[in-house]
Amino acid sequence: MTDKRVRVAVAAMRDAAGAVLLSQRPPHKSYAGQWEFPGGKIESGETVKQALRRELAEELGIDVIHARPLIRVRYDYPELAVCLDVWEVLQWSGEATGEEGQALAWVAAEALPDWPLLAADAPIIRALQLPAHYAFTAADADAASVLQGLSRLPENALLRLRLPAMGDADYLALAEKVGALRGPSRLAVDRGPDLAERLGCWWHVDGRTLSRLAAERTALPASSIVSVHDGAELETAKALGAGAAVLGPVHATATHPGAEVLGWSRFAALVDQAALPVYAIGGLTPDDALRAREAGAQGVAGIRAFW
C-alpha cells in the first residue's frame, strides 16, 4: 500500500499575525464539514512547489511568492493512503478567497487543536506550534546563568531546563520564572508530565524514560518531546503518541564520543518516515536550522552552541 500513496502538496499559510489558514471540506467530498490545510494532489511530472502554486491559485486565487518545507506526513485512511508534503507559505500575492465555494478561516496556531481537522493533519499542528530552535541548558547550569543567558537565545527558541542536580523546589521556581518571561509554549521541563501540565508547557522525555514507558505500554501526551538515537526509538516514540522528537547525533560530538553518528543522509531518511516534528542534534549550531529543514527536520537542538 505504501508505494501507492497519493502525494499531496499542502500549504500551511501564515499571515502577518501568525494565524494559519484553514479550508472546510465541501459537502460532496469525503469527510465533509471537517477542516484541513489547503492544497491538493501532486500531478505526474510536477514538483511539490509547482503543485503547491497551482493548487493555491485554483483554490484560493493567490500566487505563492515564498514557501519553505515544514514537514512530511504519511497517513493511512481506511480508503486511502496519503503522503502530505507540507510547506509553510510565508509570502503570497492576492487575497485568499474560497474560489471553489469552500469556507475559509484564519486560526491562531495555539487554537488549531480545537478545530475539527482531518486526522492526518495532527503532526502539522504540532510543527506549526514549535520553533526552529530548541536550546538545552547545560546540565550543571544554575538559575542565575540560565536567566542571564535567555537574551542570547534565538528569537522564540524553545528552552529545555535540563538540570538534574537542581532540587525540585528550585527547579519549579526557575521553570515558573522562565515560563513567565518566555511563555509556557517556549518551555520544556524534564520532571514529569504532571509538572508540564501544571505549567502548560512541553515535557521532555529522555531515552531511559521512553524505554520504561514502552515496557509499561504507557501513552505519551501530545505535548511531549522525546530524545531518540535511531529508527527503532523514533518508531517507539511515535507509537506512544509523542508530539515531537530530538534525533541524533548528526555529527560527532565531544560529549558523546561513542555514539553512532547518523550524518544528514541517514537523518533525513529516518525523519521522512517519522510523521512528527523532529529536531536534529549533535555538533550543530543555530545557523544549521536551514540545513536541517532541507533534511525534513523541524530545526536544530543543542546545548553549548546556543549559549
d(CA 69, CA 154): 20
3-state secondary structure of 153: coil
| Measured distance CA(128)–CA(10) in Å, rounded | 13
Residue in 292, 219, 213 with CA at minimum distance from that of residue 249: 292
Sheet holding 63-76, edge to edge: 39-41, 6-13, 81-93, 63-76
Host H or E run for residue 300:
strand 299-302
Q: Which residues contact 130 (CB under 8 A, 6 or more apart)?
A: 158, 244, 277, 298, 299
Q: Residue 111 carries which side chain, given as an amino acid letter?
A: A
User: 138, 146 in Cβ contact below 8 A?
Assistant: no
pTM of the model: 0.90
Q: Are strands 104-107 and 202-205 parallel, antiparallel or unpaired?
A: unpaired
AA letter at 301: A
Sorted by where each begins, the domain ranges of the chain are 2-129, 133-306
CA 104 to chain centre: 24
Say whether domain 2-129 belongs to CATH 3.90.79.10. Answer: yes
Which pLDDT score is estimated for 2? Answer: 42
pLDDT tens digits for the chain (307 residues)? 345 899 999 999 999 899 999 999 988 888 999 999 999 999 999 999 999 999 999 999 999 999 999 999 999 999 899 999 999 999 999 999 999 999 999 999 999 999 999 999 999 999 999 999 999 999 999 999 999 999 999 999 999 999 999 999 999 999 999 999 999 999 999 999 999 999 999 999 999 999 999 999 999 999 999 999 999 999 999 999 999 999 999 998 877 777 789 999 999 999 998 999 999 999 999 999 999 999 999 999 999 999 9
Answer yes or no: CATH 3.40.190.10 is held by domain 133-306: no
Q: How many CB atoms lie within 10 A of CB 114?
A: 9
Residue type, 201: C
CA-CA distance, 7 to 166, in Å (whole number)?
Answer: 48
The reported pLDDT for the residue numbered 182 is 95
Burial of 256 (0-12, 13-18, 19+ CB in 10 A): middle
3-state secondary structure of 106: strand
